[in-house]
Chain A
Amino acid sequence: MDGYYASYAPVLAIVVAGVGLVASIFAANRLLAPRRQSPEKLLTYESGVDPIGEGWAQIHLRYYVFAYLYVIFAVDAVFLFPWATVFAGLGWTVVGEMAVFIGFIAVGLLYAWRKGVLTWT
């Protein structure tokens, strides 16, 4: 428990405490709340009318494209964060390198922009 991982141990403790809190909340709810179920009550809510079909409707492809774009920028962040912390003292070379890298990413964004992916139609 010493060295590098020592600073992570309290996180584990707080996770355990959080699970405990949620478990006690659920237990309290189980004890306090009434349970009188009827078929109508268990129906999916659709603003008062009987639900038609399944709730798992088809999803527009657009959301999927945003997920792709996110992956690009998440990778971007993975490189940017360590770069930013060790930046001081490495001089102009790293500025140039990162500018080129961000330039590439930006071209990707520009391409998506020109293709009209970012416009919600």
Chain B
Amino acid sequence: MNLAHGAGVILAKDDLSEFGNDPWWLWLVKGVLIFVILVVLTLFNIWAERRVVARMQHRVGPNVHGPFGLLQSLADGIKLALKEDVVPKAADKVLFIIAPVISTIPAFIAFAVIPFGPVVTVPFTDIETPLQLTDMPVAVLYILAVASVGIYGIVLAGWSSGSTYALLGGLRSSAQMISYEVAMGLAFVAVFLYAGSMSTSEIVAAQERLWFGLILIPSFLIYIAAMVGETNRAPFDLPEAEGELVGGFHTEYSSLKFALFFLAEYVNMVTVGALATTLFLGGWMAPWPLSLWDGANQGYLPLLWFLGKTMLFIFFFIWLRGTLPRMRYDQFMKLGWKVLIPVALLWTVAVATIRAITLDEGIDRRYIIGAALVAVLVFLALSFVGEKATEEEPEEEPEFDAFAGGYPVPPMPGQQLPVLTSVTGSTGTSAGAGDTDDGGAPVSEEDRGA
């Protein structure tokens, strides 16, 4: 009874009355703008990804169509529209067609609750409206729910293709998403504890003084790992691992259905980036030196900060892809269930305790957070020390057998190639052994947009 009473009092402070009052044409304008922004961002991000990854690999990247090759993605999109749409005979036709739709639409509708900026005046009218389509008391939960619906698209695509590659890709994707969604949800709890609300606009407002990304660093890190896992991006892009599963869940897809999956993936990247911005980096609030100027958080200017922060995450995604090799599936699941989730659980309890101390005992949270950070760092350092010790255990190096199991195999890391004895007896011996060593040279990944 007491609890219900308290809940009523505290929930009442969510003032979302400025949402849902817009005239219908304003909804339409906002909705269409969200679509336009996301589609343009997708085209831009695909181009940016190819250019940035190219730079990282000492290539040039697409630079022919339009200035700096900016129209490359558009050209690719049009090309895909002109390609034949093949539905394999073994596929379940209805689901095969519905799957990309299920994957795409939720990617867009998750953006309905992302705040782009503060309350502004609509040009040419005197209507005041927030730069956000809508908000609700459970906005973040809504995003999680909608994102989960998007996963159905991938799973159904994998299942309905009637192909083993696609099925395995879809399965991997479902296991991956449910594993990382748990960690993601637990990372949010700390934010809710501090903001006292699940509404995105309230969470942004609660970060006026200090970004949650700074005081809740563990949550932020867990979220970053989880968001890469959720969006199937490198190094967690196991559902579409080219080396093992051809294209994974979209192996059988062609033409614009294939394009829809890519649209969904890139929109999802923007969505999780925008969500990270909203929950951890102060949303549309200007970053510190700029925030000293009062005008930085008024009018349409915050749109710029918001997009800037979101693009930062997009760059981070691209950077990860250019840097890290794909993880092995067992390592990936181990990271999710044995590291992220236990750490997130502990951290949730720790944040609740810190929050209770601050609220009830009146101790400044800075001391508590400082102490907690030290504890976490010590814990992390210890875990690294422990891991090293266990890794060093199986250190018996078996003699390298070039025909293990009846097939010619390359040496494992740490194994020595047997010294080759030259048939001709000339000086070619060492050169021959050296040649076989560079089998591990990194092979650059195929360009996605191509």
* Residues of chain A having any CB pair with chain B under 8 Å: 2, 6-11, 13-15, 17-19, 21-22, 25-26, 28-29, 32-37, 39, 41-47, 51, 54-57, 59, 63, 66-67, 69-70, 73-74, 76-77, 80-82, 84-92, 94-95, 98-99, 102, 105-106, 109, 113, 118-120
Residues in A with CB closer than 8 Å to B345 are 102, 105-106, 109
Looking at A26, A44, A47, A118, the one whose CB has the most chain B CB atoms below 10 A away is A44
Residues in B with CB closer than 8 Å to A73 are 182, 185-186, 341
Which chain B residues in 357-377 approach chain A with CB under 8 Å? 359-360
In the complex, residue of chain A having the shortest beta-carbon distance to the beta carbon of B109: A14
Pick the residue among A25, A66, A86 that contacts B7 (CB under 8 A): A86
What's the minimum C-beta distance from B185 to chain A, rounded to whole angstroms?
A: 4
Pick the residue among A11, A43, A91, A120 that contacts B360 (CB under 8 A): A91
CB of B423 closer than 8 Å to a CB of A: no
Query: Which stretch from B45-53, B172-180, B437-445 is at the chain A interface?
Result: B172-180
Told that A85-B192, A120-B333 touch, could you supply 13 new A-B pairs with CB distance under 8 A? Answer: A2-B20, A29-B256, A33-B255, A45-B251, A69-B337, A73-B182, A74-B182, A76-B182, A80-B189, A81-B141, A81-B192, A86-B11, A113-B337
Residue contact B338 to A118, C-beta cutoff 8 Å:
yes
Pick the residue among B27, B251, B256 that contacts A10 (CB under 8 A): B27
What's the minimum C-beta distance from B248 to chain A, rounded to whole angstroms?
A: 12
Interface of B is mostly: helix
What's the minimum C-beta distance from A9 to chain B, rounded to whole angstroms?
A: 7
Residues in A with CB closer than 8 Å to B342 are 106, 109
Residues in B with CB closer than 8 Å to A41 are 86
Residues in B with CB closer than 8 Å to A47 are 246
Residues in B with CB closer than 8 Å to A43 are 88-90
Residues in B with CB closer than 8 Å to A118 are 333-334, 337-338
What's the minimum C-beta distance from A58 to chain B, rounded to whole angstroms?
A: 10
The distance in angstroms between the C-alpha atoms of A38 and B182, with both chains bound, is: 45
Pick the residue among A32, A36, A90 that contacts B82 (CB under 8 A): A32
A18-B109, A29-B256, A109-B337 as given contacts; A98 in contact with B349, CB under 8 Å = yes
Looking at B34, B101, B353, the one whose CB has the most chain A CB atoms below 10 A away is B101
**CB contacts between A and B, total, < 8 Å:** 235
- A–B pairs, 23, beta carbons within 8 Å: A7-B16, A10-B112, A10-B134, A13-B31, A15-B109, A26-B256, A33-B83, A33-B85, A44-B162, A44-B163, A45-B88, A54-B162, A55-B164, A57-B164, A63-B175, A73-B182, A81-B138, A81-B141, A81-B189, A86-B3, A86-B10, A95-B356, A120-B330
Residue contact B349 to A99, C-beta cutoff 8 Å:
yes
In the complex, residue of chain A having the shortest beta-carbon distance to the beta carbon of B138: A81
Residue contact A17 to B35, C-beta cutoff 8 Å:
yes
What's the minimum C-beta distance from A109 to chain B, rounded to whole angstroms?
A: 7
In the complex, residue of chain A having the shortest beta-carbon distance to the beta carbon of B172: A63
The distance in angstroms between the C-alpha atoms of A2 and B20, with both chains bound, is: 8
Residue contact A33 to B355, C-beta cutoff 8 Å:
no
Residues in B with CB closer than 8 Å to A14 are 31, 34-35, 108-109, 112, 133
In the complex, residue of chain B having the shortest beta-carbon distance to the beta carbon of A42: B89
Pick the residue among A13, A22, A35, A98 that contacts B84 (CB under 8 A): A35
Pick the residue among B163, B165, B198, B359 that contacts A81 (CB under 8 A): B198
What's the minimum C-beta distance from B281 to chain A, rounded to whole angstroms?
A: 20
What's the minimum C-beta distance from B4 to chain A, rounded to whole angstroms?
A: 9
Residues in B with CB closer than 8 Å to A56 are 159, 162, 167
Pick the residue among A15, A29, A57 that contacts B167 (CB under 8 A): A57
